[in-house]
Chain A
Amino acid sequence: DAKTTQPTSMDCAEGRAANLPCNHSTISGNEYVYWYRQIHSQGPQYIIHGLKNNETNEMASLIITEDRKSSTLILPHATLRDTAVYYCIAIGSSNTGKLIFGQGTTLQVKP
């Protein structure tokens, strides 16, 4: 599975959109981009995933560039409860069952 690179930390004002970038320049054609988040000492929470097209659900939007080398997770109206570590993971269909969590981005939402 392709390596992903994320900024170590980001701040966002409460009520504003949080835009979390992820670089996955070596992603292959059959690899999906997944986003999870982990609030302190809890299990990771699935947010959203996509292959080529932009995706939106009740939690967030995922924007994937046309060349698929990078993506952005958008939380449209961040709240204090969105403070967490956000992980971007590239997952292929090789079916090893293993998710490789990198360092992620620590998002601090401030009042």
Chain B
Amino acid sequence: EAGVTQSPTHLIKTRGQQATLRCSPISGHTSVYWYQQALGLGLQFLLWYDEGEERNRGNFPPRFSGRQFPNYSSELNVNALELEDSALYLCASSPRLIGTGGTDTQYFGPGTRLTVL
């Protein structure tokens, strides 16, 4: 079974530009999550999409946005790039939450390394 895939592997942009990062979830998974991991820091939750809708958002400015497509793949867009946006961006996916008990395991992709010059 193929895992979560992300593209591109590396992305280099300059300040003020826009970056688009892509994620394909595991087949059958409907939820996609985005996290940012700046160098030497922990993972910070960015966004959660399920069934095409934004379900939750972390403490990031509006220039971080995204969407989920009908095939459940997702894009993360970062506008007006700043130097501090340089980080590893991780995407995870999980299956549809069934019932009200338990929780769904998030499976992570390899990440996209964004460098802002």
Whether A42 lies near B111 (C-beta < 8 A) is yes
Closest A residue to B43 by CB, please name it.
Answer: A101
Closest B residue to A32 by CB, please name it.
Answer: B103
A98→B106 CA distance, assembly (Å): 10
B residues near A101, Cβ cutoff 8 Å: 42-43
Q: Mark B104-117, 1 if CB is under 8 A from A, else 0.
A: 01111111010000
Q: Mark A61-85, 1 if CB is under 8 A from B, else 0.
A: 0000000000000000000000000
Q: Could you say which of A2-10, A13-21, A43-51 contacts chain B?
A: A43-51
Number of A-B contacts (CB under 8 A): 61
Least Cβ–Cβ distance between A50 and chain B, in angstroms: 11
Whether A44 lies near B108 (C-beta < 8 A) is yes
- Dominant secondary structure of chain A at its interface with chain B: loop
6 pairs, A vs B, C-beta closer than 8 Å: A30-B101, A32-B102, A41-B111, A91-B103, A97-B33, A97-B48
A41→B43 CA distance, assembly (Å): 12
4 A-B pairs with the lowest CB-CB distances in the bound complex, closest first: A97-B48, A43-B108, A98-B45, A101-B43
Whether B88 lies near A44 (C-beta < 8 A) is no
Least Cβ–Cβ distance between B3 and chain A, in angstroms: 9
A104→B42 CA distance, assembly (Å): 9
Whether B105 lies near A34 (C-beta < 8 A) is yes
Closest A residue to B100 by CB, please name it.
Answer: A93
The one of A36, A41, A97, A104 in contact with B56, judged by C-beta atoms closer than 8 angstroms, is A97
User: Which residue, A91, A98, A101, A102, has most C-beta atoms of chain B within 10 A?
Assistant: A98
